[in-house]
């Protein structure tokens, strides 16, 4: 089964990832991984760090002659900010010696892990919490999950995402989104992200893209930040992945966990999602039809019923809160003096949502890959592809 771990700090020397469970014989290259890392770095509203970070994951083990060996795959990625930034990170993040004159950070930022992290681990300085809880960690997460994306791709399963709302600007509802997104997925969900990537806010609608950019500009001038909502679509999945038998094997629960485990995510919708709660039953459920195989007349369930895939495209939405680091400060209480003060500013994006879409696409890939392995099994790609093809002929 696919399982991965990441290590490293935002301003440390680099990030490390270890992925286990990839079957032998999977075509994999650093170039394939890099394409999604490059996508993660793009997007209107990003902060200054992306100006000099050039993310590239180096495969250190588990791949020979362009194919996986079945052994754990180790990945490494340098943080260019460690040396190139003017904040003297080699001294601030030194692994040896004593603190010396390195500043202690004692002002926890509302909305961050700062205060609770200090309370949990007993630090007298917030810096360790800032460094590990940072969304910089998602760079290595994208790298690790790209291996699972490569696995799914070889089975004809594709993942694509797009932005549907930033702040107060977005589509009016389900039908409007379906009218622009659904025609693109007839040849696979990757068409969604390829089309969305043409917009620097990753929105499929040109008019809305312009309005979203203006919204970001406006909020930047205010010194505040923006969140929003994105949609992820998966095509090529067979019916029956997941389970209705055990709560922890329900595919929708596992996908939701993957989404909300990502920094700043506050909610998940599947299919109609919360809109279903405002609708009548006849406006929600998908009628079953048979045309050479069982299918659904509509896909308002988002490709999942009873904790299992239906064979229809999976449609997920994630909600990202506004970045809590803002130029215009909020009030906080100092760890030492307990006195009320204004928060300090740590460089960040105004709106990270366009970049978060790539992370969300990535983190659901191991969930889907494991559901495939649970159902079909196998230690090599040849074995898995044979079983997958036979059972879905």
Q: What are the tokens at 255? A: 């996908």
DSSP E strands in the chain: the ranges are: 3-8, 14-20, 58-61, 63-64, 67-68, 73-78, 158-166, 169-170, 228-235, 265-270, 288-290, 294-296, 304-305, 308-309, 314-320, 331-333, 340-342
Q: Which long-range contacts (CB under 8 A, 24 or more apart) does 244-249 make?
A: 244/306, 244/307, 244/308, 249/307, 249/374
Question: What's the confidence (pLDDT) of residue 50?
Answer: 57
- Residue 370: CB atoms within 10 A of its CB come to 18
Query: How would you write the pLDDT of the chain (393 residues) with one tens digit per residue?
Result: 999 999 999 999 999 999 999 999 999 999 999 999 999 998 887 665 555 668 999 999 999 999 999 999 999 999 998 988 778 999 999 999 999 999 999 999 999 999 999 999 999 999 999 999 999 999 999 999 999 999 999 999 999 999 999 999 999 999 999 999 999 999 999 999 999 999 999 999 999 999 999 999 999 999 899 999 999 999 999 999 999 999 999 999 999 999 999 999 999 999 999 999 999 999 999 999 999 899 999 999 999 999 999 999 999 999 999 988 888 889 999 999 999 999 987 667 889 999 999 999 999 999 999 999 999 999 999 999 999 999 987
Question: What's the confidence (pLDDT) of residue 135?
Answer: 93
Question: What's the confidence (pLDDT) of residue 251?
Answer: 98
Query: Which string of b and e fits 160-186 if b means at least 16 CB within 10 Å?
Result: bbbbbbbbebbbeebeebeebbeebbe
> Environment class of residue 231 by beta-carbon count within 10 Å: exposed (0-12), middle (13-18) or buried (19+)?
buried
d(CA 286, CA 201): 32
Q: What are the tokens at 128? A: 């360790």
d(CA 228, CA 385): 38
Question: What's the confidence (pLDDT) of residue 346?
Answer: 67
Angle 82-85-87 from CA coordinates, rounded to 5°:
95
What is the phi/psi pair of residue 138, to 5°?
Answer: -70, -15
> Environment class of residue 387 by beta-carbon count within 10 Å: exposed (0-12), middle (13-18) or buried (19+)?
middle
User: 296: which strand partners?
Assistant: 288
d(CA 303, CA 196): 21
| Strand pairing report for 265-270 and 73-78 | unpaired
d(CA 381, CA 68): 10
What is the phi/psi pair of residue 264, to 5°?
Answer: 75, 5
Question: What's the confidence (pLDDT) of residue 324?
Answer: 85
Closest CA to 252 of 315, 304, 318, 300: 304
pTM: 0.94
């Amino acid at each position: 089964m696919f399982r991965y771990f990441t290590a490293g700090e935002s301003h440390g020397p680099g990030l490390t990832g270890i992925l286990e469970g990839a079957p032998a014989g999977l075509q994999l290259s650093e170039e394939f991984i890099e394409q999604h890392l490059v996508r993660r770095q793009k997007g209107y509203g990003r902060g200054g760090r992306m100006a000099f970070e050039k993310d590239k994951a180096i495969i250190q083990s588990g791949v020979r002659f362009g194919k996986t060996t079945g052994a754990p795959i180790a990945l490494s990625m340098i943080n260019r900010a460690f040396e190139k930034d003017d904040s003297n990170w080699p001294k601030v993040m030194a692994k040896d010696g004593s603190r010396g004159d390195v500043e202690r950070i004692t002002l926890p930022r509302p909305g961050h892990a700062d205060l609770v992290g200090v309370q949990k681990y007993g630090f007298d300085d917030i810096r360790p919490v800032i460094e590990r809880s940072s969304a910089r960690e998602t760079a290595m997460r994208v790298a690790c999950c790209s291996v699972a994306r490569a696995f799914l791709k070889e089975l004809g399963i594709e993942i694509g995402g797009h932005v549907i709302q930033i702040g107060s600007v977005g589509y009016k509802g389900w039908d409007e989104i379906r009218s622009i997104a659904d025609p693109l997925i007839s040849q696979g969900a990757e068409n969604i992200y390829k089309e969305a990537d043409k917009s620097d806010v990753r929105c499929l609608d040109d008019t809305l893209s312009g309005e979203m950019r203006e919204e970001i500009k406006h909020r930047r001038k205010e010194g505040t930040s923006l969140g929003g909502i994105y949609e992820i679509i998966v095509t090529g999945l067979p019916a029956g992945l997941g389970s209705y038998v055990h709560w922890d094997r329900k595919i929708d629960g596992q996908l939701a966990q993957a989404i909300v485990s990502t920094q700043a995510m506050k909610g998940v919708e599947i299919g109609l999602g919360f809109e279903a709660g405002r609708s009548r039953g006849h406006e929600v459920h998908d009628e079953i039809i048979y045309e050479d195989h069982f299918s659904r007349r509509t896909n308002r369930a988002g490709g999942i019923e009873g904790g299992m895939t239906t064979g229809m495209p999976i449609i997920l939405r994630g909600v990202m809160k506004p970045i809590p680091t803002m130029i215009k400060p909020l009030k906080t209480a100092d760890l030492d003096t307990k006195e009320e003060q204004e928060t300090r500013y740590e460089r960040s994006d105004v709106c990270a949502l366009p970049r978060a879409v790539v992370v969300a696409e990535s983190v659901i890939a191991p969930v889907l890959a494991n559901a495939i392995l649970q159902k079909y099994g196998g230690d090599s790609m040849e074995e898995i592809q044979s079983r997958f093809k036979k059972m879905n002929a």
